[in-house]
Amino acid sequence: MGKAEPPEGEKAANEDAARIGELRERLNHHSYLYYVLDNPEIPDSEYDRLYHELQQLERLHPDLVTPDSPTQRVGETPLKAFEQVRHRMPMLSLDNVFSEDELAAFLKRITERLGIDMDLAFNAEPKLDGLAVSLVYENSVLTQAATRGDGSTGEDVTQNVRTIHSVPLRLSGSNIPALLEVRGEVFMPKAGFDELNRRALDRGEKTFVNPRNAAAGSLRQLDPKVTATRPLAFYAYATGFVEQGVLPETQHQILSALAQWGLPVCPEVKLINGIEGCIAYYHNLQQQRNQLPYDIDGVVYKVNEISFQKKLGYVARAPRWAVAHKFPAQEEITYIANVDFQVGRTGAITPVARLEPVFVGGVTVSNATLHNMDEIERKDIRIGDKVFIRRAGDVIPEVVRVVPGSRAKGVKKIRLPRKCPVCGSDIERIEGEAIARCTGGLICRAQRTEAIKHYASRKAVDIDGLGDKLVEQLVEAGLVKSVVDLYRLSTEQIASLERMGRKSAKNLIAAIDDSRKPTLARLIYALGIREVGEATARSLALAFGNLQALIEADEDALLEIQDIGPIVARHIMNFFAEAHNQQVINELLREIEIQLPSASKSNQPLTGKTFVITGALTNMTREQATELLQSAGAKVSGSVSAKTDYLLAGEKAGSKLAKAEKLGVEIIDESKLKALLGS
């Protein structure tokens, strides 16, 4: 007789149990690919679907829920306090060296103690600026996580560490010891830290000072649900207590084994030899420091051979076989002696602190950026304050914060000047904007080069052959001080510039002459008024008909125009109100002849219609098509949506065509466009 089939209910339960196991395995695999290898195989939506299915099955079978299930990363109950954990093996600190001489002395000590005369192999790794933790895996399942504490006793942060997605809840692979203690660093990547502070500012909350403080504060939350919202990560760098298992015989091989078992290991880890290898690694990582996605404050060298490590042993609270080679300090304390205001190439006004000189980040610093007035007010910085200064590599030094409790009598508030320190034009600061700007865009020496480049660009008056490098040469030579001077250049002046022959000079003069009859829309755009792009410039040209009417327009008149709000209206009014700009415009009008728009508000057949252009057109460029459509009152968008009225499609139209077809947007060619335009 054959074996009896199990009852339907039992069969279904067995199938669910098998499916639960399969889902956990798949989810753990995809978490590893996503959080550790940064190489996902499935989209987030598919991961969410699998996760939801597992949640549903575990609700049906609560007896099958295990601590290593992906659904158990976040605990439900906040702790009242952290329990104390005694480490089975002490979590020691590292001795530090700060120079190549100190490093050489360290290497000499260990080779003499080992009784060898050879270059030792070292496992080198970045010294992460985070929080050291110990993870205990029993039969491959994470059962405990603890902070370093005083080295002997730490705090039980198991619930919080479980929320870190790069920490596996279950190890995978072969030859894993029955009990394995993994040591590593919990840290907050720079991008996550910036986003965390941005969200805090949006909510009006206090921000974190640096990623290390953010990581430490996040890991010590009593409510794991709070920790789960923080962008924490983990890298393993060593092992501690091990039972019923054997680890490889070198530090580098141990890290390889941890990576094979699913634990994240820093990708910058490298096997090196001797003092030359150590120094080369140090300088290479120091150069990369600001490009790394996480903060580091030095490098760590560990003797690679475990047998050598055991022979060298420990002294006090540190191993003899490892050392941290620290980078120069990036933060120091000094005083703000004064504050100046600098003008950037786009007119942005930046407050700069003049400091009592201080040695930080390997150089003497006497100036530091204060970013903008909002930052000054948020940090409550004043002239005479004692402050922390930070310098990170080639990044401009910045004033981080005032030293708490250090403010003396007589400090002065920092106030934004009313006039540009370079050209004397009014300074504009729109309510709600952090950055203040000089309004003298056409005359300000600090903005001169960018203003001329913009004026000559293809979408502005389009001076063919006047590239960025040539503009810079003309400005440096003192031949062009404003856009008007372009029309006063001679062939001889241009030919005198480096790499400019007489023929090239003649061609440029011809191109400048060709630009003397710009359309009103192109000229308005060329003036470089803040937030006035091509479409807005065309709307202004059509609405006012001539430049003088636009110059005299008040806020009410500007707000009547579609897509112009109070901020853009204020930019336009401030630009034309500045006397220096008026002077340049008056001189410019003696050199050029503006082509006024033929279309008026009453002669715009496509007003209110939205077009998207895709593919290669046959009889016109896409820029020409855009200009025609805008002249007819249409809005030209860069992406297809449900609000798109027409898609103008040329040859080799791609994804925009497919999306338009899906949304039912009317698709037209150039002949249909001419019909719509009435010509």
The C-alpha atoms of residue 523 and residue 659 are separated, in whole angstroms, by 35
Phi then psi dihedrals of residue 474, to 5 deg: -65, -40
43-79 exposure pattern, b = at least 16 Cβ within 10 A, e = fewer: eeeebeebbeebeebbeeeeeeeeebbbbebbbeeee
* Amino acid identity for residue 149 in this structure: G
Tell me which residue of 572, 567, 505 sits closest to 544, measured CA to CA: 572
The C-alpha atoms of residue 130 and residue 496 are separated, in whole angstroms, by 58
Q: Measured at the alpha carbon of residue 164, what is the angle toward residues 159 and 166, in degrees to the nearest 5? A: 140
Give 54's contacts (C-beta < 8 A, 6+ positions apart). 20, 23, 24, 27, 69, 70, 71
Tokens of 368: 């530091």
Q: Tell me, what DSSP letter sits at residue 167?
A: S
| DSSP-derived 3-state class of residue 669 | coil
Give 478's contacts (C-beta < 8 A, 6+ positions apart). none
38 sits in the region (left: phi over 0; alpha: psi -120 to 50; else beta) called left
| DSSP-derived 3-state class of residue 648 | strand
Phi then psi dihedrals of residue 318, to 5 deg: -140, 150
Q: Largest Cα–Cα distance of the chain, in whole Å?
A: 110
Give 112's contacts (C-beta < 8 A, 6+ positions apart). none
List the catalytic residue out of 127, 270, 302, 635: 127
| Residues 47, 51, 52, 54, CA torsion sign | positive
Can you tell me which residue has the tokens 């790499």?
Answer: 499
Tell me which residue of 69, 67, 63 sits closest to 22, measured CA to CA: 69
**Residue 643: active-site member:** no
Tokens of 35: 């959080």
* Strand pairing category for 427-428 and 386-390: unpaired
The C-alpha atoms of residue 182 and residue 503 are separated, in whole angstroms, by 72
Tell me which residue of 200, 399, 186, 385 sits closest to 294, measured CA to CA: 186
Task: Identify whether the C-beta of residue 294 lies closer than 8 Å to the C-beta of residue 194.
Answer: no
Tell me which residue of 153, 91, 95 sits closest to 127, measured CA to CA: 95
Please list the active-site residues: 127
